Amino acid sequence: MNGRCLLLFARDSDPALELLRAQAPGYVRQVALADLSRPGWRYAAGKPDDARAVSQGQVIEAGDIGAVLCRIGGVAPAELVEIRPVDRAYAAAEINAFLLAWLAQFRGPRFNAPTPWSLCGPAWHEARWTQLAARAGLPLAPNGNAAHSVQATVIAGQVFCDASPELARHAARLARACELAMLGVRFEQHGGAWRFAQADSCPALDAQSAAAVLRFAAAMDESRKWAA
Amino acid sequence: MGCVVLWGQSGDAPFDAVRAELERRGAPHLALVQERCFEASCELRVAEEVHGVLRLPDRAIDLDEVSAAYPRPFESWRVLGRRGHAADSEAVRRAASLDHALWGWLETTGALVVNRPSAMTSNASKPYQAELIRAHGFSIPDTLVTTDPEAARAFIARHEAAVYKSVSGVRSIVSRVGQDAMARLDDVGWCPTQFQARIPGVDVRVHVVGERVLACEIRSEADDYRYARIRGIAIEVKQAELPPDVAERCVALARGLGLALSGIDLRRTAEGEWYCFEVNPSPGFPYYEQAAGQPIAAAVADLLTLQ
């Protein structure tokens, strides 16, 4: 670690927050929902080095942020409990729009690029995910209830999956096709065969995949430092 | 030429204008009006390609026969709510199901879509879209978005004049920072606020339809010309010609954002610099069409029917 932090946009209720913090307590700094309506944030067009964030009420300058992981797809009005109810819908729209620009401008490792539909990465319609999976060569689940389902989690090309190596290859292929550093791929078992069911750019993490997140963030930040 | 599907609300000026133009030409089309959309259903089969059927009370359309689509839907529950359908009614539930299927089809079909849902979202964040605009060679105003009152004060002090406006796609009136705003500057602490250097010049609205460029010039003393008439300020809109390189940049910008139809807001300074403020992915073009006498609906109909 080089003294810079991993800025983690996460709700207090997100289990990934504790998993990541437990493994790298000084490195992970949370941006909680309450931080989004506190003084100190800055975005200057074309000047990413002038950006500032707020974590637990403290202002952090862009140069002190090594990597960013956003696990808040978007802020809902009801979540902005520190803002007057009458202003919450407007404030939520403004905060989401601000974060989209802020995250898109961040120059360091950021896992998935934010999109207008989700700050965590693409939140495509299920039809588009299905089409992308089919085009990447994944077998598709038919309609109807499945006997079992399993998730494969892709972190920077590394796949964490309790099922078969074949599913790991499928998941990695889809993440590559979508150019995503982080992707959860859910497979369902139909007639004894595992088939693609759904994908999620903000998957649940376990201890292993959380460790991979930290390794990737630190390695990318280190390579950025040497490239500078 | 296949069938053209229009999806929107009757009474919505752009929807009505394109529909009227297709009717005038006798072009095969289907207008899916949201007031009655609970009578329709759509089934999709998605694999590498998407297939499906759109069913209406009197006909069924194989979606493979659709060559182009012009979606301009509003939220169905609002449209139906205004007609007395409760939010938990069967009509609203059916409409939501149709919406979901149509959004999926629009995102995956090989037909021309004017515009695809995923391409219509970049203006949900003005500073996010501004960076995409800058990448296409237009100038953008010096911009700060902040919850830091001190940073806002410093930014305002650096510029001869500054304006503030919403960060998101929520429509707001562009306003000059005056004494009133300065007195309330500490309020930015609870919500990010966008400040921009005010750029004096002449507004130019450009509609890009496929490769066609239709520009009009707007002259007004208002900080936000869209609200000039309401505020009793004079406004003049007339057809304009863009320099070829600016027109090319507009086409490249629209293409880069994945938009077959767009409304681009430019401002030309006295020094001849071209600023771009925003690209509207679902422009309400009839106002400009009428004010400047431009055949924009016809251009959209050309695009939809020349597939």
Q: pLDDT class for A118, splitting at 50, 70, 90? A: very high
Q: pLDDT class for A192, splitting at 50, 70, 90? A: confident
Four-point Cα dihedral B258, B263, B269, B272, nearest 10: 60
Strand partners, A194: A189
Is the ipTM higher than 0.90? The answer is yes
Nearest CA in chain B to A37: B190
The reply to whether residue B191 touches residue A94, judged by beta carbons under 8 angstroms, is yes
Is A144 a residue whose pLDDT tops 90?
Answer: no
Residue B227 is which amino acid?
A: Y
Provide the 10 A C-beta neighbour count for residue A182: 25
Q: pLDDT class for A143, splitting at 50, 70, 90? A: confident
Q: What is the pLDDT of residue B232?
A: 82
Lowest-pLDDT range of A143-152, A169-178, B20-29, B77-86: A143-152
Q: Is A49 left (phi over 0), alpha (psi -120 to 50) or beta?
A: alpha
Q: pLDDT class for A210, splitting at 50, 70, 90? A: very high
Tell me the percentage of chain A whose pLDDT exceeds 90. Answer: 86
pLDDT digits over B264-275, tens only?
Answer: 999 999 999 999
Peptide bond into B115 cis (omega under 30): yes
The reply to whether residue B191 touches residue A140, judged by beta carbons under 8 angstroms, is no
B134 contact residues in A (CB cutoff 8 A): 45-46
Overall pTM > 0.90: yes
Region A16-33: mean pLDDT is 96
Is A1 a residue whose pLDDT tops 60?
Answer: no
pLDDT digits over B199-257, tens only?
Answer: 999 999 999 999 999 999 998 777 777 777 777 888 889 999 999 999 999 999 999 99
d(CA A136, CA A173): 7
B128 contact residues in A (CB cutoff 8 A): 97, 100-101, 104, 116
Nearest CA in chain A to B167: A94
Provide the mean pLDDT of chain A: 94
How far are the Cα atoms of A44, A105, B184 from residue B190, in angstroms, in the given order? Answer: 18, 22, 12
- Residues of chain B numbered 155-194 and touching chain A (CB < 8 Å): 166-170, 188-193
d(CA A15, CA A35): 19
Q: Is A198 left (phi over 0), alpha (psi -120 to 50) or beta?
A: beta
| Chunked mean pLDDT (size 10), chain B, 307 residues | 94 98 97 94 96 94 97 94 94 96 97 96 95 97 98 97 94 86 92 96 97 94 74 87 97 98 97 96 94 96 91
